[in-house]
Amino acid sequence: MAPTHPAETTEARAGSGTQAAGPVTGSGTDRPHHATASVAAILAESADRYPDDVAIIVGEQRITYAELWDQTLAYAGALRAQGVTEGSRVAMLVPNVPDFPRVYYATLALGAVVVPVHALLKRHEIEYVLRDSGAALLVCAAPLLAEGAAGAALAGVDVVTVLAPGDDAATPPRLEALAASSAPLTTYTPRDPFDTATILYTSGTTGQPKGAEGSHFALLEQVNTLLMSTFDMHRGDVLLGALPLFHTFGQTCTMNTGFRTGATIVMLPKFDGATALTAMVEHHCGIFMGVPTMYMALLDAALRSEERPTLRYAISGGASLPLAVLERFQTVFGAPIHEGYGLTETSPVASFNHVGRTPRPGTIGTPIWGIEVEIADPGTTDAVVLLPRGEIGELVIRGHNLMNGYLNRPGDTAAAIVDGWFRTGDLGTKDDQGFLTIVDRTKDMIIRNGYNVYPREVEEVLATHPDVTMAAVFGVPHDLHGQEIAAAVVLGDGATTTSDELVHFVADAIAAYKYPRVVHVLDALPLGPSGKVLKRELVDRFSGAVADAEPTTAG
C-alpha cells in the first residue's frame, strides 16, 4: 500500500482527529484500502507470545505480560461502561506506574484516542488540554486529583481515578472498582492505519500548546524501525523507565518499543539520581534512556555511591547532551551513549547514532530507516529550499514518522509541513557522511551586534568547568547590542567558584562576542515535565540583569 503523505491528509483530518469510527470491513467503506492496525497490538501480541515474562517492575511488584494485558482488557471494559467508544478522546493524568500502560492500551483497545496530560500542569492548563482535545473523560491518578479534578470541572469533563484508597467516598469513581464490575473486552478493536491513536501536546514555547495527532501507522512503524535497525533491544532486556510516559520519548522509545520486543521495564514514579542508580543496580538494567538532566543527576549520585549497573549502552535525547557530560558518564558508567533526535511531531525519532556502529559524539547521528532529514533555508517559509552539505540551516524531515497534523489547526499544520517536509525550527548541519549536528533552536539563537551566537556552543564550554553540573545560556534584551548573552548554572557540592570566575573562564575559551556577560548561580534550573530546561523562564527572570563591563581577559 502506498501511504498517503500526512501533508495531503491534514485538511481532511483537522477538526475531527479520528476520521472513521471502527475497523475497515465489508464493501461499504469509501476508503481506498482495507488494511487495519492498532498500537494496542503491541501489548496484546507480547502477552500472547511471552505471557509469563515480566513486563513491569515497580518497587517489589512484578507484573507479567499476560497479567498486564488482562488488567488492560478489564480497564477497557470499565471505560466502555463509562461511555467511551471508537473515536472518543480519553485524557489521562497518570505518572510512571502500571496504571499508565493499563489506561493507555485500554483506550486504544476500544478504538479510542489517548490524550496523555503532562503531570506538572496546573488546573487551567489541564482545562485547556481537555477542551482543545474534546476529551470525553479524564482518568486521573489520585495524587494528581487536586489539579486534575479542578481542571476537569472547569472543562465540564467527567473524571475517574486510579490509585485512590477504596474507602475514600470523596474521590471520583475508581477505575479499579469499575473494572471489577464490568465485562472486560476480549481483544482490541482494529483501526484504519492512519486514524489518530494519540494526541500529544507540544510544550507551548511559542503560543498555546498544539495537539499533534499521531497515527497508528506512524507509531507502529516507528517502533518496528527502532527495533529492526536503530536500537539493540531484545526479549528479556531490562530497561529503566525513568522518562515520563506522558512524553513522546518515554512513551514510544521506552514503553511501546520495550513492550514490542518483550523487555522488562523498571518504572520510576518520580526520577532522582540516587533512586535511579539503585534501581538500575538492583534490577540489572542493561539499557538507560534519558534526557541530559538525568545524566547529570546520575553522575552526581555516582559521587556518593560505588555501585554501578551493568549497562550495555545508553540513549540520550530531548536536548543536546554536553560533550563533557557525555565523556564523564561513559568513564564513570563504562557504557557508550548514543544520541538521537526527534520531536513530538515525528513520533519522535528522526535520526540516531545507531547502536552497533561507533557513535559520533556531538552529533545526532544519521536518519533512521525510511526517513529523510535535510537542511533547508530557514528564511524561505513558503517552500523548502535545500542547502548544500555543510551549510547551517533548518532541519526538515519527511517519511513514515510524521504526524497527521495539529488538531483543529490547519493553518499551523500548513506552516509546519511544507512541500511534504516537516519544518523543525532547529538549526543544524549535515556532513558528507550524512551525520547531522544540531547547532541550536532557531528561537534560542542570540543575535548580538549582528553576530549569531548559538547557546549550545557556550553551554559546552561551561560544562567543562569542574564545578558546573548544569548550565543554560540564553539571550536577554539589550538597548545597545540588541541582545546580550546570559547564563545560569547549578554548581556541584562543595563548589567554590564564583559568577565572575565563570565569566572569565568562558571568555578565555571563545570569541569575545559569544561569552556571557553574567552567570547566575542557582540552586536549580527551571525544568519542564520532560526534563528540558525552560529557557523562557530564565529570560523572563533575568532580563535587564546584565552588566556592561567586560572582563579584562577578553580579547
Per-position pLDDT tens, the chain of length 555? 333 333 333 333 333 333 333 333 333 346 678 999 999 999 999 999 999 999 999 999 999 999 999 999 999 999 999 999 999 999 999 999 999 999 999 999 999 999 999 988 889 999 999 999 999 999 999 999 999 999 999 999 999 999 998 777 788 999 999 999 999 999 999 999 999 999 999 865 456 889 999 999 999 999 999 999 999 999 999 999 999 999 999 999 999 999 999 999 999 999 999 999 999 999 999 999 998 889 989 999 999 999 999 999 999 998 788 898 999 999 999 999 999 999 999 999 999 999 999 999 999 999 999 999 999 999 999 999 999 999 999 999 999 999 999 999 999 999 999 999 999 989 999 999 999 998 877 778 787 876 677 788 888 899 999 999 999 999 998 877 778 999 999 999 889 999 999 999 999 988 888 899 999 999 999 987 667 788 889 988 998 666 554 554 333
Q: At what angle do helices 323-333 and 455-463 cross, to 10 degrees?
A: 40
CA distances from 248 to 214, 226, 318, 414 (A): 10, 14, 10, 22
pLDDT at position 450, please? 67
Distance CA 63, CA 482 (A): 57
pLDDT of residue 208: 82
Closest CA relative to residue 403, chosen from 200, 101, 259, 225: 200
* Per-residue confidence (pLDDT) for residue 207, from 0 to 100: 64
- pLDDT for 289: 97
Per-residue cell: 418? 511544507
Helix/strand/coil for 421: strand
Domains of the chain and CATH, by start: 39-55+65-189 (3.40.50.980), 455-542 (3.30.300.30)
Q: Give pLDDT, residue 393.
A: 94
Grid coordinates given for 455: 547557546
Report the C-alpha gap between 483 and 463 in whole angstroms.
23
pLDDT of residue 546: 60
